Structure 1
Amino acid sequence: MAGVAVDVGNRVECDGALGTVKWIGEVPGTQGMWYGVDWDDENRGKHDGTHNGIKYFETQYPKSGSFVRPTKVSSGMTLEAAVRGRYQDDPTIETHVTDMLQKTINARFVEVVGMEKIGKKQSKLEELETVVLDGWMVWGAGNSDLAKLLPRLQDLDISNTLLSSWESIAQITRQLPSLRFLNISGNKLKLPNNPDELQESVCHITHLVLNNMKGYTWSDLMTCCVMFPTLRKLQVAFNKLCKLGPVPVGLFDSLEEIDIGVNPICSWEEVCHLGTIPRLESLNVNNCQLKKVVFPSVPVHEKTKLFPNLKNLMIANNPLEAWESVGELNKLQNIKDLVISYDENITLYFQEFAFARISNLKVLNRTRLTPKEKRDCELFYLKSFSEDYYSSGGTEDTSASHLSQEFTLKHPTYLKLVEEYGAPVDETKHRSQKSQKLRDLKIELKIITPDDAEREPIVKSFLPTTKISKVKMMLKRQLKINPAAHINLSYCPTKAILWQSATVFEIRMDNDMKEMDFYSIVSGDTLMVRWE
């Protein structure tokens, strides 16, 4: 298919490879015109733009340059042609796409399966709200009347195309006033000389995707974002960013979500540059190279002024010191939803402890806890580190506690939980001998079945570290209950019986992952078994 006339700076395609025309002219010793092309693939060319000692053009890699005859390259198609080829039955476009695929995979014959069905599904272009042209060789709008062609268009994906400038993008977007989502990832675009002049053409975009922008730095990305004053969501993943740098004041006053994932960012200090964005609610830093989260200038019990409205943080697949980082995340004022990776072999019960260590956390790795479940996690956390608490200067009377700095840094929310729920039992006071025999450590319980009065009570012993799920399995065998039945456990403390209360005081044991001693059950208590 014939494309637009090629000038220096235009993007072209040849045999599936993309490049930028850096020079047009004649080469001594040959006849006819040549294009000097700098290929995106560093191994696609043969030289650095130098031929017979003469430097014709600059290349980005030592061997990414080639001289190519104009007839060998394609300058692409207009957006309208691509839309008609993608969504309507245009045999000319079908032939062009087939030719491109044939060259790319070096096949003599290619059949594009389903091509004849594409247009039939969405042939009414005036009703289209979403257009996806990822990988189509679009160079620009041309002379098309896009406002008439796509009057209802809201989402446009023109990633990995032959677009070469922001001016060509502005020519497209100014004709599409209903457009809100724009994906121009994977394009090699020359930075605009005057981005302010293009703002009127693109300012209605609220969700912008600038992934893999082929050589853009953080500063380049910020320059481009000046054109989008009402931006609410920005994606800049896959850009090989090591550093971010400050965000210009006022640039992202409307921004609520940003994705900087899959960039080799090592320092949390770089991420903190985003902390000045006033309305930022969601931050994605998955798959970076962050080693820790730290707010060094913020005392352990205080909140940072950075990220004042951040609610959702995705920080998975980073080589984090997860335990320490979770403690630092408690310094965020409004964090409620966290996605994070951790090694279960290093930190047992990480998920339960994370809910206790981040006061406002409600969702962890897509798991939402009820208020009761969060309370259980907090109580479990208190009990799990009670020995460390007392050995570090803690007391049952919190006003008399003199906790070590090491404990406070490691457990920043512990004292607050003690104040809320009371101090955990100081088990060191009751541990008079370490060589106690196993049978002396067991809890002896009277077991009854309230819904089956004919069953005689039995007495059975359990280790305090036995999980509730295992207790249920043991009781199914002991009481010969159907293995498929659902068992509910509760217990009545001996003290409640001694009080001779008119109402039986039962404590439900409703978390299968907890151990017996989590519920403070002791020898002599009565265990009640019910099943459905």
Structure 2
Amino acid sequence: MAESEFKLGQRVHSAGDPRRIGTVAYVGPVQGYSGVWIGVDWDNGDGKHDGSINGVRYFHAKSERSSSFVRAHNLSSGISLLEALRLRYQGDTTKEEEDEMYVLSASNKRVSVELVGKDKIQDKLSRFEELTGASLSFLGVSSPGSSPCDIGTVLPNLKELDLTGNLLSDWKVEVLKYSLPAIEELHLMGNNISTIDPPSFLTVHGFDSLRLLNLEDNCIADWIEILKLSQLRSLEQLHLNKNILNRIFYPDNDMIGELSIASELHEKSDEPFQNMRCLLLGSNNLQDPASIDALNSFPKLVDIRLSDNPILNIPRFVLIARLEKVEILNGSEVSIRERKESEIRYVRLVMSKLQGNLEDIRQLHPRFAELKKIHGIDDEKPSTGVAGPQKMASGLLSITLKCVGASIGERSPLTKKLPATTTVGKLKILCESFFKLKSIKLKLFLQEEGSPLPIMLDDEMASLMDVGVGNDSTILVDEES
């Protein structure tokens, strides 16, 4: 390709290796070298410098050795979807590929594998009109082709399309709604997508059968972009793991209008995300508890993943209590018993910290009044008078303490009853006494059923109730490394 065919921000891959993908960050001369060079910032970080060479900076790469300068002929700007389709399903396997198909015998020798019925299978796959699913991952797909409508003609029965790891960050995905109207599953993982453009691509016409949309491992930062998907009427699963979202909010009618979504959506019967049951949001940057509350507005949402977000400092029981309809949280089922216990613990926790006016409480804890009524919990606050002993909001908690520190040695677990007002700092001192630990700096973790990782209790001034410790909780006693 000529140097003029590359532009800043363009997604490219190394010629001959469509899995080595990067973004064009510079096009032009490099001091001390002849001709035009393309500066590429590689996704896998496998480069030679940070965008500067011999003391001259040409661009800023994402890390110290993630970029390199290459000649145009060593890069590819990709191929069309239909070209990839023919390459994947109509091309013959090469001798090199067949040589790589082997198993190891008991004596560690290679035994060639012969695919029985290979020709019959390949013949069926090559008849595109019969294909119901196509995987075009890591083939350098960058466009639909010169005539997008051809896709629907060639693939009239396609229901599932996997475009993982391609070059579609600036591709107008709008073409798919016209060319693949029967599509049910669309996978766009790892395409560096940051915006969904234009909003009109998601009007009520088109994608009428789409049930699953996978946008994992992209660069979506603003929930506004996700709201452009909100009127995919048939959408049941939306996968957004490994993006950079920092908040979630539910649109009002004015916002829906601003997003240029069709006027029909203002009807009360057409709620955004009205059929979505599963939303995966792991490994983002969600921090605000209000983002959790916003998920209650999605009428059928029952399966939610929030793992590996800063918000996971919030205990599991608080998440369950705030999420009204969740049945599966972070891959773990929420039982009827766990929901009831979580909601009661949450109400007690909020009551122990009640401050300010009722409107502030309603905004910070939208489900508090509802849950208090559901579980018949009376208004009660700890007495603050100096004349008598302070009343504890939740009495004594039965807690199991388990030593897990490498140098602590094997110790039998202990079950103790402690006041809910006991601070984390006080509990550390008690653990030193319970387990006869001297000269060991301790750290404590709350281990909750259904949570993949224990929660570190790092605020020494917080009470056990404040950090979500409830009756029959387990606390791990570890040592500072």
**1:59-208 to 2 correspondence within 5 Å?**
63-66=70-73, 85=93, 93-95=94-96, 97=97, 112=100, 114=102, 119-126=113-120, 128=121, 149-150=123-124, 153=125, 172=126, 175-185=127-137, 186-208=139-161
Match of 2:299 among 333, 343, 357: 333
The residue type paired with residue 235 of structure 2 is L
Alpha-carbon contact 2:140-2:167 (below 8 Å) kept: yes
Deviates more, 1:419-428 or 1:281-290: 419-428
> What CA deviation, in whole Å up to 9, does each residue of 1:135-172 have, x standing for no partner?
xxxxxxxxxxx6xx22xx5xxxxxxxxxxxxxxxxxx5
SS at structure 2 position matched to 1:234? strand
Query: Structure 1: how far apart are the matches of 2:351 and 2:270?
Result: 28
For residues 42 and 342 of structure 1, do their structure 2 counterparts lie closer, same or farther at Cα, with a shift above 3 Å needed? closer
Match of 1:319 among 262, 267, 285: 285
Aligned-pair distance for 1:331? Answer: 1.6
Query: Structure 2: how far apart are the matches of 1:317 and 1:303?
Result: 33
Alpha-carbon contact 1:232-1:254 (below 8 Å) kept: yes
SS at structure 1 position matched to 2:230? helix
Aligned-pair distance for 1:269? Answer: 0.8
User: What's the % identity of the aligned pairs?
Assistant: 16
Q: Flag structure 2 segments of 5+ consecutive residues without an equivalent.
A: 6-12, 41-68, 76-82, 104-109, 255-267, 399-414, 435-467, 474-481
For residues 420 and 303 of structure 1, do their structure 2 counterparts lie closer, same or farther at Cα, with a shift above 3 Å needed? farther
**1:17-416 to 2 correspondence within 5 Å?**
17=17, 63-66=70-73, 85=93, 93-95=94-96, 97=97, 112=100, 114=102, 119-126=113-120, 128=121, 149-150=123-124, 153=125, 172=126, 175-185=127-137, 186-218=139-171, 220-244=172-196, 245-246=198-199, 247-295=202-250, 297=252, 305-341=271-307, 347-349=313-315, 351-389=316-354, 391-393=355-357, 403-404=358-359, 406-416=360-370
Query: Higher strand fraction: Structure 1 or Structure 2?
Result: 2
SS at structure 2 position matched to 1:409? helix
RMSD: 4.9
For residues 357 and 274 of structure 1, do their structure 2 counterparts lie closer, same or farther at Cα, with a shift above 3 Å needed? same
Match of 2:373 among 419, 428, 438: 419
SS at structure 2 position matched to 1:182? strand
Aligned-pair distance for 1:81? Answer: 7.7
For residues 375 and 305 of structure 1, do their structure 2 counterparts lie closer, same or farther at Cα, with a shift above 3 Å needed? same
Aligned-pair distance for 1:260? Answer: 1.2
Query: Structure 2: how far apart are the matches of 1:242 and 1:121?
Result: 41
Q: TM-score, normalised by structure 1?
A: 0.53
Alpha-carbon contact 1:282-1:310 (below 8 Å) kept: yes
Aligned-pair distance for 1:292? Answer: 0.6
Query: Structure 1: how far apart are the matches of 2:250 and 2:418?
Result: 43
For residues 297 and 240 of structure 1, do their structure 2 counterparts lie closer, same or farther at Cα, with a shift above 3 Å needed? same
For residues 376 and 82 of structure 1, do their structure 2 counterparts lie closer, same or farther at Cα, with a shift above 3 Å needed? same
> What CA deviation, in whole Å up to 9, does each residue of 1:313-346 have, x standing for no partner?
0001111114221111112111101000356898
Query: Structure 1: how far apart are the matches of 2:296 and 2:379?
Result: 26
The residue type paired with residue 160 of structure 2 is H
The residue type paired with residue 426 of structure 1 is E
Provide the residue aligned with 2:471 in structure 1: 515
SS at structure 2 position matched to 1:316? coil
The residue type paired with residue 352 of structure 1 is F
Work out which structure has the larger RCO, using CA pairs closer than 8 Å and 6 or more positions apart in sequence. 2
Alpha-carbon contact 1:330-1:359 (below 8 Å) kept: yes
The count of aligned residue pairs is 339
Question: Which structure's CA Rg is the greater one?
Answer: 1
Alpha-carbon contact 2:133-2:160 (below 8 Å) kept: yes
Alpha-carbon contact 1:338-1:361 (below 8 Å) kept: yes
SS at structure 1 position matched to 2:207? coil
Aligned-pair distance for 1:192? Answer: 2.8
Deviates more, 1:362-371 or 1:180-189: 180-189
For residues 303 and 354 of structure 1, do their structure 2 counterparts lie closer, same or farther at Cα, with a shift above 3 Å needed? farther
